[in-house]
Structure 1
Amino acid sequence: MDISGGIKASLAGRYAAALFELAEERKQLDTVEASLAKVKAALAESDEFRSLTTSPVVDRGEAVSAVKAVSSSLGIDPLTANFLGTLAENRRLAQLDGAIRAFSTIIAQYRGEANAEVATTHPLTDDQVAALKAKLKQLAGRDVNVDMTVDPSLLGGLVVRMGSRMIDGSLRTKLNSLASAMKG
C-alpha cells in the first residue's frame, strides 16, 4: 500500500519515504519517530545546528563529522544517525526539516491519523491542547497529531494547518482584514 501520496514528488519527501521504508522493514518506526523529534527540537533550539544544515559553505567532511557528533549527543538511534549521515554526505542537510515533516505525514497516514501544525501566541496548557485535538478530530474524522509552535507575531489566537486546510483565527489576520476594509 502506497501511503506517501504526493510526498515523493519532493526531494525531502523521497528521503523521508526511504527512511520510513527502512524503519518499517526493521520494525523501528517508533524509535525513528522519537529520534526525529529530538532532531527537530535541536533544529528549533540550536542556531549552530540550524546553520550547519542550511549553510552551503560547510564542507562535506565537516558536515558529516558534525552530524555524527550531534547524533551521539542527542542519543538518537543508529538508523536515524545513518539517515543524517547520508543527508550530510549527499550535501542535502538543507532538506532535513522538510524530510522530518514528510516522515511525520507518512507515519500519520500509515497509522490512519492526520497531522496538524498549530501556531499560537503562547504555549497552550495540556487541557487546551486536549480540547483542540478533540475539535480537530471532529473536523478530520480521525485522530490528529498536533505539532505546536509559538509565534508571538500572531498577537493573539491561533493558526491551524491540517493538510491543505488552514484555519487562521489570529488577531494579526483580523487586524489586517480590518485595516484593508477601512482603506476602502
Structure 2
Amino acid sequence: MYAASSREALEGARVELETILRGAAASSDDAVTAGTELLTVSDIVSNNRSLRIALADSSTAADDRAAIAKKVLTGKVSDTTAAVVASTAARAWSSDADLVEGLQQLGREALLQAAKNEGKADAVEDELFRLSRVIKGDNELEQALSDRTRTADDRLALLRKLIAGKVEPITERLAANAVATSEELPGDAIDELSQLAAASNGRKVAYVTSAGEMSSEQRNALAAKLTEIYASPVTLHVDIDPELLGGVVVRVGDERIDGSISGKLATMRRGLR
C-alpha cells in the first residue's frame, strides 16, 4: 500500500503515460515497447542501490533527479520510456521502494493498454487467470517457480516451457515479470495481474466457486446479477469444488456471498446449537 505522496506521484505519472500512449501518433507497438522497457528499468533500479536512492532522494531538486534518469537512459530505451521515467523520478515518492513499484506498475499498465489497443484485453485477462490457477493447483510447480535458490533465468525458462506459444506475448511478458520480481507466490502474483487487467477494462472480478461446471447461461445470468449489484461490469473467475454439494460461493473484493448447499447446512447447524 502506497503512502499518500506516493499515490499522488503514481497517479501523476500514470496520467502522463496514458496521455502519451493514447496520443494521435502512438501505436500498439509503442505501448508494448514502453511497457517492456519500464519493467526492465524497474528491475535495474531495484537492483542498483545508488541509482535507486538518487532517483528517489527528496533532498535533491526534482529537475536534477529527472536529469539523472535521462542521463542514464538516453540512447538505451525509447524516448517515451526515458521521458516517463524522468517525469516519474521528478515526483515526490515516500520511499525508493515505492518508486520502483511505481515504475513496475506503469510498465504493467502500458502492456495492458497495448493489449486493449490490439483487441486482446479479454484474452490476456483470461490467460493470466487460468495460468494462476494452473500454478496454484500444482504445488511442485509453484515451489519451483518461487525457489530463490534457483536463478531467475532458470525459473523463467521453466515458466516459458509451460506457456510458450500457448498465450499472448503480452501475457507472457507480464507473467515473466511477476515470477522474476514478486515476493509473493507466483500464483498469487499472476492472479493480481489478472485483477489489474480486469480493472484496466473497467471491470470488477468476482471469484466464483461452484459445485460443478456452470453453463454459459448460468455464467451470463450470474454476471448480469452481479453487474446490477455492483453497478459495474463483472468478470467471473470460476473454480470447481464438489465439496460445496451444490450452488456457488462468490467473492468480490472483501465481500463474500455463500449460496452453496454446504454453506446453508453450516448455517442451519449453527442455528440448532
Q: Give me the TM-score of the superposition, normalised by structure 2.
A: 0.52
Unaligned runs of 5+ in 1: 4-8
After TM superposition, the structure 1 stretch with the greater mean CA deviation from structure 2, 156-165 or 27-36, is 27-36
- Match in the other structure for 1:169: 259
Q: Do structure 1's residue 83 and structure 2's residue 174 form an aligned pair?
A: yes
Q: Do structure 1's residue 119 and structure 2's residue 247 form an aligned pair?
A: no
Instruction: After TM superposition, list the pairs within 5 Å mapping 1:4-19 onto structure 2.
Output: 18-19=107-108
- Match in the other structure for 1:22: 111
Q: What whole-Å deviation, never above 9, does each CA across 1:48-85 have from its counterpart, x for those lacking one? A: 533433455545443122123223253441x4333343
2:174 is matched by which residue type in structure 1?
F
Name the CA distance, whole Å, in 2 between partners of 1:166 and 1:86.
30
Name the CA distance, whole Å, in 1 between partners of 2:166 and 2:202.
29
After TM superposition, the structure 1 stretch with the greater mean CA deviation from structure 2, 129-138 or 13-22, is 13-22
Q: Do structure 1's residue 49 and structure 2's residue 141 form an aligned pair?
A: yes
- Match in the other structure for 1:6: none
Larger radius of gyration between Structure 1 and Structure 2: 2
Name the CA distance, whole Å, in 2 between partners of 1:101 and 1:125.
23
**2:124 and 2:197 in contact (8 A); partners too:** no
- Match in the other structure for 2:196: 106
CA RMSD of aligned residues (A): 3.5
1:23 is matched by which residue type in structure 2?
L
- Aligned to 1:145, what secondary structure does the other structure show? strand
**2:207 and 2:238 in contact (8 A); partners too:** yes
Unaligned runs of 5+ in 2: 1-9, 15-97
Name the CA distance, whole Å, in 2 between partners of 1:13 and 1:160.
31
Name the CA distance, whole Å, in 2 between partners of 1:53 and 1:112.
31
**Number of residue equivalences:** 175
Q: 1 or 2, which has the higher strand percentage?
A: 1
Name the CA distance, whole Å, in 2 between partners of 1:47 and 1:95.
11
After TM superposition, the structure 1 stretch with the greater mean CA deviation from structure 2, 167-176 or 93-102, is 93-102
Name the CA distance, whole Å, in 2 between partners of 1:99 and 1:20.
15
Name the CA distance, whole Å, in 1 between partners of 2:196 and 2:161.
28
- Match in the other structure for 1:154: 244
2:209 is matched by which residue type in structure 1?
A
Q: What whole-Å deviation, never above 9, does each CA across 1:15-42 have from its counterpart, x for those lacking one? A: 6664223332674562643542452354
- Aligned to 1:74, what secondary structure does the other structure show? coil
Q: Give me the TM-score of the superposition, normalised by structure 1.
A: 0.72
